[in-house]
Copies of this chain bind each other. A is one copy, B any other.
Amino acid sequence: MNVISTPTLLLDEKTVRRNISVMADKAKQNKVVFKPHFKTHQSVQIGQWFQDVGVEKITVSSVTMAEYFADAGWMDITIAFPCNILQIDRINELAARISLSILVSDANALPVLTQSLTNPVQVYIEIDTGSDRTGWAPHQTDSISKVVNQIYDHSQLQFKGFYSHPGHSYAARSKSEIRKIHGDAVSKINSLKKQFQTQYPDLVCCIGDTPCCSVAKHFEGIDEISPGNFVFYDLMQHQIGACRLKDISVALACPVVATYPQRGEIVIHGGAVHLSKESIRVDGHKMYGRIVQLSNDLHWEEPVDGCWVKSLSQEHGIVKCSNECIKQLDLGDLIGILPVHSCLTADAMKKYYTINDLTELEHMQASL
């Protein structure tokens, strides 16, 4: 790759490695096992940067992703997604070669698991601490107890503990709101833990959202954390209060393909198929990305004030630009876009280029 001429996902390795180190250190200080979620980067090479700080256990969001990272040598993988009983054969194959953990989020999965598992699998019971997505509410202790007993009675199923993704932290808009959600989730998990710990002294509890793991100061009773997005962060995490703008480690380089100074707008090659249609509301308007100036060596600083991606079609992005900014831009220039949701942008782009030397890093999507 000599020159960038199409939408290209740039990655600042230094910032990525810093984000990884900060979270790894935090886990160490709080004596929790760091089991990062790899759904954000989906990259074997970025996975190695986690190995560099001692990570051995990881979390993924699909059987396909577990296979991809197992092929790359990861030997302890949790699939943090409700067990899909249609994939039992692939679960068996995986369990034969790695230490595999799965989530049970619906009791109806157990008959299939108990009948069809051919190798030991560790099972987390998913707890819904308030996100209203998947799992049992913490107060459903009778149902949870039944499921735990069914798991315990079966030779290939090992009851591992409780897993919760407090995804309602995404509705927070400040550090204190995040900490409140975190405190509540931790308290609910601890209450469950106490009820089951006598019978199952080895049970572990894992929580896994980036806002809470980034901002919380206390993890009492929590044994493992599995945040994912923190590796790149994004504008949504910044809006939530989970990161600083300078922690965002990816930017989409986009060519300017039309300039309309009278409208105060430019048009870029960079649309919904690159950034995804995820948006946030800021000052009463929708925003699909913020603008950063790219230096000659493709580094960027904080976003430019008064400029944002105001709409996206399939390949077009319309950027609202301040007069000052538009004066400095010419057709064919490259600008950087900080994404609203880096997981989706990375999934759409299917590869990364490091800003230091434009090394191409793999994304799982390109290998499917």
Contacts and interface: CB of A to CB of B under 8 A. Distances in A.
Given A84-B255, A167-B313, A257-B84, A273 B108 contact: no
A17 interface: no
Contact of A331 (B81, B85, B167, B267): B85
Q: How many copies does the complex hold?
A: 2
Interface in A167-226: 167
Contacts of A368: 350, 366
Interface stretch (A21-29, A44-52, A149-157, A314-322): A314-322
A247 interface: no
A341 B61 CA distance: 24
B5 A108 contact: no
Given A5-B86, A82-B257, A314-B344, 7 more contacts: A6-B86, A84-B332, A85-B331, A133-B316, A134-B316, A167-B313, A314-B347
A132 interface: yes
Interface in A62-102: 62-64, 81-87, 90
A58 B349 CA distance: 25
Contact of A267 (B85, B134, B314): B134
A39 to B, nearest CB: 6
A368 B273 CA distance: 14
A343 interface: yes
B6 A87 contact: yes
A287 B257 CA distance: 33
Interface in A308-328: 313-316, 318
Contacts of A5: 84, 86-87, 90
A105 interface: yes
A305 interface: no
A81 B257 contact: yes
Q: Which of A83, A267, A313, A366 is the most central at the interface, judged by chain B CB atoms within 10 Å of its CB?
A: A313
6 contacts: A4-B86, A84-B332, A105-B258, A133-B316, A134-B316, A366-B368
A156 B90 CA distance: 57
A42 to B, nearest CB: 10
Given A167-B313, A257-B105, A315-B81, A3 B86 contact: yes
Nearest to A65: B315
A259 interface: yes
Contacts of A87: 5-6
A112 B257 contact: no
A115 to B, nearest CB: 13
A268 to B, nearest CB: 10
Given A106-B259, A258-B106, A348 B350 contact: no
Given A83-B257, A134-B267, A315 B62 contact: yes
Given A255-B86, A258-B134, A343 B318 contact: no
Nearest to A83: B257
A223 to B, nearest CB: 24
A254 to B, nearest CB: 10
A57 interface: no
Given A257-B81, A315-B61, A315-B62, A276 B272 contact: yes
B257 A106 contact: yes
A318 B132 CA distance: 9
Contacts of A302: none
A35 interface: no
A193 B194 CA distance: 78
Nearest to A330: B108
